[in-house]
Chain A
Amino acid sequence: MKSRTVKVDYLARVEGEGGLLVKIKDNKISEVKLNIFEPPRFFEAFLRGRHFDEVPDITARICGICPVAYQMSSCNAIESAFGVHVDGALRNLRRLLYCGEWIESHVLHVFMLHAPDFLGYQDAIQIAKDHPELVKNALRLKKLGNEIMRVVGGREIHPINVRVGGFYRTPTKEALSALLPELEWAKEMAVEMIRFTAGLSFPDFDHDYEFVSLRHPDEYPVHEGRIVSSKGLDITAAEYNRHFVEEHVPHANALHSLKDGKTPYLCGPLARFNLNFDKLSPLCQKEAESAGVKPPCANQFKSIVVRSIETLFAVEEATKIISGYAPPDKPSVEVVPRSSSGAGCSEAPRGILYHHYKLSDQGMVMDARIVPPTSQNQRMMEYDLRSFVEKNLSLDKEELTLRCEQAVRNYDPCISCATHFLKLQIEQE
């Protein structure tokens, strides 16, 4: 048989710039490439020589979609280096801020980036022509996520209120309580969102993934926890380095992460859900079950449902935090720098985000390492593409291309994030 090529020069509805290439020869896949041409920005490099206080502001700029994740992982890492603990109301506020980001990012992905694939539209604006209520409600829900970030963080993109040790100013009780009526509505909407996504049709596509996510003894993991995997890994963030290795591949301006230097793994909503189902609220568990997703769910196409479940979780969690909020005495705890290093991890909407810093006694960054979720998932995306195409060789080209794109969009990849951390290896000819 002739050879075929599926080629997408510019992946739409993903954050950042990437393309994909699948080559098929004699009904066999000869090549799969996720081509990331987003130019590298060298964050790890220019973090050197900056004061620790500036780090959350700088790392936020790695990604406009999940700046809070960057800020939180930075803070976790630096605080662990300096032996600082942020507890009580401040800790809850961080979680609340992060819930805002989850809501915003998940709703954006579910309705505006992912759903059009399932419904056969090019974009959400086209969906709005046929289903205006659906899109309007989605936008309203997304707006609530942004509102939470605005009240806690100052603005939705690159919040200005996050600092190592806490915040610059804590919100008033009134400002937060004002969000409660909308959260009330949001809870119903999130349930509807789960039901809506559960009704989509999913390709049969289970895969034996190794799931990696954070886990916390008392709560669904958001802004901190231990790193665990479905194959028995259970480590602290500080041990991440010993278990995960990054590898540079020539066709992408980004690094691929491998567990123990050889196994690709999956992080993100599906991993979190599978590894922490027990920590979800009863309502979330109930809705998940009626939606027909239960752990272990191994179909990445169903991540759209899981994102909806996590949206419900974030809405409930935000409501809980706001209801129990009493403004703390001080907006941040004292941070005294010392010569040390520290690692931190948090759950960005699309998976675990790892930061590691070496700091001087003056609080200056000596060295920084950041591993975003998208580079951790990148190898897995290529695996998915390969096996998906293998099973669906009969599809016509257009359909196959769309499905391939969808297989990538399942990951909600954040390509800008994936590219900032290049340390290229030699390729001497």
Chain B
Amino acid sequence: MTPRPFRVKRTYAETDDTFTLELEPERPEEGFAFAAGQFNMLYAYGVGEVPISISGDPLKPLPLIHTTRSVGLVTEALRRLKKGDLIGVRGPFGTSWPVIPARGSDVVIVAGGIGLAPLRPALYHVLRNREDYGQIALLYGTRTPSDMLFTKELEQWRGRFDMDVGITVDRATGSWRGNVGVVTRLISRAPFDPHNTVAMVCGPEIMMRYTVMELTKRGVPESRVFVSMERNMKCGIGLCGHCQFGPSFICKDGPVYPHDVLTPWLRRWEI
């Protein structure tokens, strides 16, 4: 329950409200390793602690990379951090994206907004081990073109012949020439074999619901659709009770779940 002190090595803006922190441990000898999809509890001194997914490459766990959208007091305090500041880190916690079981299958990654951050480690993994997988599709939607994360990398991925990248925005602004509409609209056209696909989905809860619907419509079994859930968390380790979702604790049993486990609960309101 005691955070490890890390120091901010670099901090930079991704969009108007989203930024990335690169953190180095004060005691590097203790090391750090994580699996794609796991999260840390980040403690902004005096302000609070929040769960944030790790958005870096699992093979290069340090510096630790977190991409965060400033939405409230704690995330805003994280945004104010400067190079050299201290930050508390507990983790990594939670389950990870099924990059190992997905070997031999097509992989579809569907992200909405900040949801791309927790998925990036999975992307790094499958692209590095490209030969282990069938087709790879990344479908990404944001509200406007200026909300798009990791734009340089997106360009690189777009340029690759061994993966398919679909990008869309809810509202076109500026010189946007690409798709307009919700990300679920990209699913029907995406190249993958529904009967041999693992899908990984992260975004707002409502977007995930519709994405799962579209995927199942195409024939992907729900047990092969993985989503990352979000709930209030105070401890991150199953002791505080806040993140309960039906019979599970999202911090230990999640955040990444095969969707069929959640189906009975997602149908009900206010679980």
A and B touch in the complex (CB under 8 A): no
> B interface vs A, CB < 8 Å?
none
